[in-house]
Amino acid sequence: MNHASRIVNFSSGPAVLPETVLNDIQNELLNYQETGMSILEMHHRSENVSQILCEISSDLKSLLKLSDDFEILFIPGGASFQFVLIPMNLLTGHQRASYINTGRWSERAINEARRFGFVDIIYDAKAADHRFYHVPTPDQLFFPADSRYIYLTSNNTVMGTQYHVYPIAPKGIPLVADMSSDILSKEIPSDQFGIVFAGAQKNLGAAGLSIVIIRKEILSACNDTTPSVFNYKTIASYGSRYNTPPVFQLYLTHKIVKWTCQVGGIKEMSRRNLEKSALIYGILDEDSLFWNNRVDPGSRSTMNIVWDMPSEELRMLFLQLAEREGMVGLA
Amino acid sequence: MNHASRIVNFSSGPAVLPETVLNDIQNELLNYQETGMSILEMHHRSENVSQILCEISSDLKSLLKLSDDFEILFIPGGASFQFVLIPMNLLTGHQRASYINTGRWSERAINEARRFGFVDIIYDAKAADHRFYHVPTPDQLFFPADSRYIYLTSNNTVMGTQYHVYPIAPKGIPLVADMSSDILSKEIPSDQFGIVFAGAQKNLGAAGLSIVIIRKEILSACNDTTPSVFNYKTIASYGSRYNTPPVFQLYLTHKIVKWTCQVGGIKEMSRRNLEKSALIYGILDEDSLFWNNRVDPGSRSTMNIVWDMPSEELRMLFLQLAEREGMVGLA
């Protein structure tokens, strides 16, 4: 298609995919690598799909500098399913988990976790400033010794906040991070984490798949009462194919991960995000009263920049002008 | 692509997709309906996706002759997830559910259900003939009065068996059917069912999505303790968008359902399946000792025909000859 007819999509949902990836998918849609089959018809235990899974794992391990202590799981459904699977695997009725509440996604995770055990909200950004305008710094956090795990949301799409320094959990208590909206956007200190998970639709492909990066030592501690299809240990022992994974999303993630490596890896992704976000924050800061970005500068997200206009009229005008320039999803 | 290069896929996993559907997807992959976006980049709350959901529901209701007593839910993940969600929504610790065991898929469903309550296996096809070669007739079944629901697998891919007459559950006890491998292949007496579910990858599109057809009166009886993302009532009340559904699979299912309507609906699908299966069963029956199809004739599947060869050598030879003719996945 004509490049000019592709719009600029600012939607808070799925991200824009690289056009080269879309072209690839289009070209091989009826015949994946001369197999005579569409990837949509491919069996999840076929050699082609095995290779896709294997290559995503090894590329992610190299991009994120993960040691062999980690296993990568591929699970149907988005991050919201992991809001349930984390406590379902790690928490039982009499145990406690610590959650840091920084906005809509952590709130949802907290609500699901409460069905499985006791939740300690060890930091509530809303209580601190009434509006979730920041994420806590490490010195603002205290970790109860009896926590099964500590949970945070790395980047908060709705609030426009992001951790730039991650807390260090006490030895033996895994730090669990929902990185759905900033995975692959910057380097992470992987040795600080027990579990890092992400729905694929923001930075790893399309809705319908989650990637769960988990320490092998946590796998063996998963609750035996967890249903097989949701049990991290079972999923790992079957190479993410105890049941059928969403093959098309795996195929897309494979392409996105390869593309990320090709354009220069995390270093380049991080550079692009810093550059783009600095440009926009620069404009917002020039007239901060007008643009009304209220996020604490130390917690500003390089992924999602949130601002508002001084009046409803100006808001509508701005959105109209943007749409005329081919920019949608800004609201 | 050249039609001649498309192979004939007999895999027990995902089914072959109509070439016209694949062509459609290919053509609009970078620009869905002149939106300037790929369907892979579309927000799940966008108007386009709303329309897709709405049309799948109304087409399925008309194809399957469903009354307005039913709601259709779209849930990430395959049928295996529903093996968990059914008891998670309908069964609590002290309650009982009745399961009919006819092979691998019902066995898996039974194993998951046992985590949520008491399971009565009211019929075990393996106990009856040691090899799952049939499904029970209605007169072989007895339903305990305290069952929360009665569960069956409509078509058994691995065993090659299928119900041709469904049991009638006592009033007030919903009949739950896993129709993953035969939905849309024949008419069903929808008034006999409480819940019909299917993973999309066999007859409704691609792996990563389940369709759950559920009576509205069952929705209101779902356990409040069920996590929100897995709670049928919550899913229904948010129009299957409490969390992000797999948009690409919905898009594909939309096309498959439209295609099914266009080629003549369930009547035509059923005619095609009967014709094809009669042809193959005819050959198998001509020399039944050689082909070794041991399924009880009254339980024969029109979807999956299972046979074996008298020796391992003949088996290999048959598979080689088939592959030379472009037929794969027969093993």
What confidence tens digit (pLDDT) does each residue in A64-77 have?
Answer: 999 999 999 999 99
- Band (pLDDT 50/70/90 cuts) for residue B326 is confident
| Set of chain A residues whose Cβ sits within 8 Å of the Cβ of B230 | 84
Q: Over the stretch A104-134, which tens digit does the pLDDT of each residue have?
A: 999 999 999 999 999 999 999 988 777 788 9
Q: Which residue pairs, CB below 8 angstroms and at least 24 apart, start in B141-145?
A: B141/B100, B141/B167, B143/B98, B143/B167, B143/B169, B143/B170, B143/B173, B144/B96, B144/B98, B144/B120, B145/B170
A306 pLDDT band, cuts 50/70/90, is confident
Rounded mean pLDDT of A14-33? 91
B3 confidence band (pLDDT: 50, 70, 90): very low
Based on the number of CB atoms within 10 Å of its own CB, is B202 exposed (0-12), middle (13-18) or buried (19 or more)? buried
Identify the pLDDT of residue B310: 74
| pLDDT tops 80 at residue B316 | no
Please state, for a pLDDT cut of 90, what percent of chain B lies above it.
Answer: 69
CB environment A115-150: b (16+ within 10 A), e (fewer): bbbbbeebbbbeeeeeebbbbbeeeebebeeebbbb
**Tokens representing residue B166 in the block:** 């469904």
pLDDT class of B8 with cuts at 50, 70, 90: low
> Does the pTM of the predicted model rise above 0.90?
yes
List, as ranges, residues 268-307 from B with C-beta within 8 Å of A: none
How much of chain B exceeds pLDDT 70, in percent? 94
d(CA B134, CA B269): 23
| Cα–Cα distance list, B47 to A213, B35, B141, B241 (Å) | 34, 11, 47, 13
Express each pLDDT in B144-193 by its tens digit: 999 999 999 999 988 889 999 999 999 999 999 999 999 999 999 999 99
Q: Do B30 and A40 touch (CB under 8 A)?
A: no
Burial class of residue A53 (count of CB atoms within 10 Å of its CB; 0-12, 13-18, 19+): buried
Q: Distance from B206 to chain A by nearest Cα, in Å?
A: 6
The pLDDT assigned to B120 comes to 97
Q: Tokens 């193959």 — which residue?
A: B280
Q: Give the pLDDT mean for B285-303.
A: 80
Q: Could B1 and A30 be called an inter-chain contact, meaning their C-beta atoms sit closer than 8 Å? A: yes
| Nearest residue of chain B to residue A16 (CA atoms) | B41
Rounded to an integer, what distance in angstroms lies between the CA atom of residue B331 and that of residue B325? 15
pLDDT on residue B59:
97
What integer pLDDT is reported at residue A1 of this predicted model? 39
Phi-psi region of B98 (alpha: psi -120 to 50; beta: other; left: phi over 0): beta
pLDDT of A12 higher than 60? no
pLDDT at residue A90 tops 60: yes
What chain A residue is nearest to B28 in terms of C-alpha separation?
A26
pLDDT tier at A298 (50, 70, 90 boundaries)?
confident
- Asked which of A247-251, B268-272, B318-322 is least confident by mean pLDDT, the reply is B318-322
Residue B228 with chain A: CB contacts under 8 Å: 108, 111-112
Question: Pick from A26, A207, A229: which is nearest to B29 by CB?
Answer: A26
* N-term to C-term CA, chain B: 27
**For residues B213-241, average pLDDT:** 97
Alpha-carbon gap, residue A186 to A174, rounded angstroms: 21
Q: What percent of chain A has pLDDT over 70?
A: 94
Test B31 with A326 for CB contact under 8 angstroms. Answer: no
Mutate to test the interface with B, among A8, A21, A28, A40 (most CBs of B within 10 A): A40
Q: What is the mean pLDDT of chain B?
A: 90
Sheet holding A96-101, edge to edge: A70-76, A209-215, A195-199, A175-178, A147-153, A96-101, A118-124
CA distance B249 to B135: 31
Average pLDDT, chain A: 90
Residues 6+ apart with CB under 8 A from B81: A76, A77, A229, A243, B75, B210
Tell me the pLDDT tens digit for each residue of B67-103. Answer: 999 999 999 999 999 999 999 999 998 999 999 999 9
Average pLDDT over residues A261-278: 90
Residue among A16, A208, A242 whose CB faces B248 most closely: A208
Determine, for residues B43 and A246 on separate chains, whether the beta-carbon distance falls below 8 Å. no
CB proximity B221 to A under 8 Å: no
State the Cα–Cα distance between residues A52 and B126, nearest whole angstrom.
37
Instruction: Select from A7, A8, A37 the residue whose CB has the most chain B CBs within 10 Å, as the one to mutate to test that interface.
Output: A37
Between B314 and B226, where is the model more confident? Answer: B226
At residue A268, what is the residue type? E
Q: What is the spatial distance between Cα A82 and Cα A112, in angstroms, rounded to a whole number? A: 10
- A243 contacts in B (CB within 8 Å)? 77-78, 80-81
d(CA A207, CA B38): 13
pLDDT digits (tens, 9 = 90+) for B183-192: 999 999 999 9
DSSP H helices, chain B, are 19-27, 47-63, 79-90, 104-113, 125-129, 216-219, 232-237, 247-263, 265-286, 288-291, 312-324
Q: What ipTM describes this predicted complex?
A: 0.91
Q: Among A185, A8, A86, A100, which Cα is nearest to B229's?
A: A86
C-alpha closest to that of B207 among A31, A240, A85: A240
Interface test with A, best of B114, B244, B255, B325 (most A CBs within 10 A): B244
CB contact under 8 A, B43 and A326: no
pLDDT at A282: 82
**Tens digit of each residue's pLDDT (9 = 90 or more) over B192-222:** 999 999 999 989 999 999 999 999 999 999 9
In angstroms, the separation between the Cα of residue A300 and the nearest Cα of chain B is 24
- The reported pLDDT for the residue numbered A10 is 58
A212: β partners: A73, A197
Whether B239 and chain A come into contact, CB under 8 Å, resolves to no
Q: Which residues contact B282 (CB under 8 A, 6 or more apart)?
A: none
Other residues' Cβ atoms within 10 Å of the Cβ of residue B106:
26
3-state secondary structure chain A: CCHHHCCEECCCCCCCCCHHHHHHHHHCCCCHHHCCCCHHHCCCCCHHHHHHHHHHHHHHHHHCCCCCCEEEEEEECCHHHHHHHHHHHHCCCCCEEEEEECCHHHHHHHHHHCCCCEEEEEEEHHHHHCCCCCCCCHHHCCCCCCEEEEEEECEECCCCEECCCCCCCCCCCCEEEECCCCCCCCCCCHHHCCEEEEECCCCCCCCCEEEEEEEHHHHCCCCCCCCHHHCHHHHHHCCCCCCCCCHHHHHHHHHHHHHHHHHCHHHHHHHHHHHHHHHHHHHHHHCHHHHCCCCCHHHECCCCCCCCCCCHHHHHHHHHHHHHCCEECCC
Residue B28 clears pLDDT 50, i.e. is over it: yes
Q: How far is the CA of B144 from the CAs of A151, B83, B178, in angstroms?
A: 45, 21, 20
Cβ distance of A80 and B326 shorter than 8 Å: no
CA distance B212 to chain A (A): 15
The 10s digit of each residue's pLDDT in A178-224 is: 999 999 999 999 999 999 999 999 899 999 999 999 999 999 999 99
B-chain CB neighbours of A204 within 8 Å are none
Instruction: Return the SS3 of B69.
Output: coil
Q: What is the pLDDT at residue A129?
A: 75
Q: Report the side by side order of strands in the sheet with B70-76.
A: B70-76, B209-215, B195-199, B175-178, B147-153, B96-101, B118-124
Size of interface A-B (CB pairs under 8 A): 197
Could you tell me the CA-to-CA distances from A311 to A289, A290, A292, A318 in Å, in that order?
A: 12, 9, 11, 11
Residue A128 pLDDT? 77
Q: Is pLDDT of A315 > 80?
A: no
Chosen from A29, A30, A223 to mutate, greatest number of chain B CBs within 10 A: A30
- A81·B243 Cβ contact <8 A: yes
CA distance B112 to B105: 11
Residue for token digits 């072959």? Answer: B16
Q: Regarding beta strands B175-178 and B147-153, do their DSSP bridges make them parallel or antiparallel, or are they unpaired? A: parallel
Does the pLDDT value for residue A288 go beyond 80?
Answer: no
Q: Which residue of B has its CA nearest to A203?
A: B41
- Min Cα distance B252 → chain A (Å) is 10
Cβ under 8 Å to A: B residues 82-141: 83-84, 88, 108, 111-112, 115
